[in-house]
């Protein structure tokens, strides 16, 4: 269900990106029968995914993501702290010019975030486990992978057009249409 | 455990199988020497690199901190293995520090297939 919710959120926030990912999944299902079964039970339109266990991620940008795409983040576990920080990272070495934290977003357990991970340098601040084991923070990342889109023959232009997106959302989610319904036999 | 209970209903037969394989894969990642091959999972490349994490490095391995050490990466692909099953088995093996990724063509041998990569951190 989580993956479906990210599909819905993406469709609301950026219908063009959602449509592109939707069509990309359909492309793989249609023209790559050798991996079709890999998507049989996958509800997500984000083909590239990552699972991060017990790691405080340092400053980075998601270099494989399309600049105009939105990447999803979801946290689990029992911990406190661990904010998502968007930083202003200078081009000079970090040792001489410190990073400036521009935004610090509460990023506790069961937080879902969609943002442009390839554009904004980001990191996770220190966190502390509050229950049981020391190792108790997990995150899932759903990437709008540029290479995957290009391989499927799609591109994601920037800026993102928003015309007719309400109609598209209504068409997808009112009709019950989903990637699963478009599996080619 | 929270994660186990939250995802119990989503586990598939494949997920249960890979839940058993998960620890073995991670151990092989840490060993960084031998390939692992069993039940549809064949690690086709293992890399190791020394990672130093700037000022956050700590020899004490503190909670939630990035630590310096050797990072092992393993790549593999498996036809027919669902993305959800793959992620579900990882949820069951949470006593490690790692990043696992799955994407089209990610592994060296995964042309036209879904590839997986797992990086194990100290």
Average pLDDT over residues A172-180: 48
Whether pLDDT at B42 is above 70: no
Whether pLDDT at A113 is above 50: yes
Partner residues linked to A102 by β-bridges? none
Q: How far apart are CA A63 and CA A67, in angstroms?
A: 9
Average pLDDT over residues A118-147: 83
Three-state secondary-structure class, residue A78: coil
Question: Residue ranges of the domains in chain A?
Answer: 2-182
ipTM exceeds 0.90: no
Alpha helix locations (H) across chain A? 2-13, 15-31, 33-36, 146-151, 165-174
Chain A residue numbers touching B56 (CB-CB < 8 A): 56, 58
Per-residue pLDDT tens digits for B65-77:
555 666 767 676 6
Chain B residue numbers touching A42 (CB-CB < 8 A): 82-84
Q: What pLDDT, on the 0 to 100 scale, is given for residue A115?
A: 87
Does any CB of chain A come closer than 8 Å to the CB of residue B75? no
Q: What pLDDT, on the 0 to 100 scale, is given for residue A124?
A: 93
Which B positions 41-70 lie with beta carbon below 8 A of chain A? 53-54, 56, 63-66
Contact A42 B104 (CB under 8 A): no
Q: Which strand ranges, in their side-by-side order, compose the sheet holding A112-115?
A: A112-115, A71-77, A137-143, A48-53, B98-104, B114-120, B69-77, B41-51, B37-38
For the A2-182 domain, the top CATH level (class) is: mainly beta
> Between residues A47 and A184, which one has the greater pLDDT?
A47
Contacts 24+ apart (CB under 8 A), A156-162: A156/A16, A156/A17, A156/A20, A156/A66, A156/A67, A156/A68, A156/A69, A157/A68, A158/A67, A158/A68, A159/A68, A160/A14, A160/A16, A160/A17, A160/A68, A161/A16, A162/A15, A162/A16
A144 — phi, psi (to 5°)? -90, 75
Average pLDDT over residues A13-31: 85
pTM: 0.72
Chain A residue numbers touching B96 (CB-CB < 8 A): 53-54, 135
Per-residue pLDDT tens digits for A76-97:
888 899 999 888 765 445 445 5
Contact A95 B113 (CB under 8 A): no
């Amino acid at each position: 269900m989580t993956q479906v919710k990210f599909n819905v959120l993406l469709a609301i926030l950026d219908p063009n990106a959602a449509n592109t990912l939707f069509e990309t999944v359909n492309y793989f299902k249609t023209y790559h029968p050798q991996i079709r079964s890999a998507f049989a039970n996958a509800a997500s339109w984000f083909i590239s995914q990552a699972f991060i266990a017990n790691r405080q991620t340092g400053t980075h940008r998601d270099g494989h993501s399309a600049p105009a795409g939105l990447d999803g983040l979801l946290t689990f576990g029992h911990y406190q702290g661990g904010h998502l920080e968007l930083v202003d990272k200078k081009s000079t070495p970090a040792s001489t010019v410190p990073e400036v934290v521009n935004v610090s977003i509460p990023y506790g357990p069961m937080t879902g975030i969609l943002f442009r991970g390839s554009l904004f340098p980001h990191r996770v601040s220190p966190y502390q486990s509050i229950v049981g084991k020391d190792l108790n923070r997990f995150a899932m990342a759903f990437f709008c992978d540029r290479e995957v889109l290009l391989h499927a023959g799609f591109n994601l232009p920037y800026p993102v057009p928003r015309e007719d997106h309400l109609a598209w959302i209504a068409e997808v989610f009112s009709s019950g249409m989903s990637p699963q319904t478009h599996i080619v036999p | 455990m929270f994660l186990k209970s939250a995802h119990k209903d989503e586990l598939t037969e494949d997920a249960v199988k890979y839940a058993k394989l998960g620890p073995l894969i991670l151990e092989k990642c840490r060993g960084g020497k031998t390939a692992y091959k069993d039940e549809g999972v064949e690690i086709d490349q293992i890399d190791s690199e020394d990672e130093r994490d700037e000022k956050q490095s700590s020899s004490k391995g503190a909670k939630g901190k990035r630590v310096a050490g050797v990072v092992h990466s393993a790549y593999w692909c498996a036809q027919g293995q669902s993305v959800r099953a793959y992620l579900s088995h990882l949820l069951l093996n949470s006593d490690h520090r790692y990043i696992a990724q799955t994407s089209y063509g990610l592994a060296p041998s995964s042309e036209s297939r879904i590839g997986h990569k797992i990086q194990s951190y100290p």
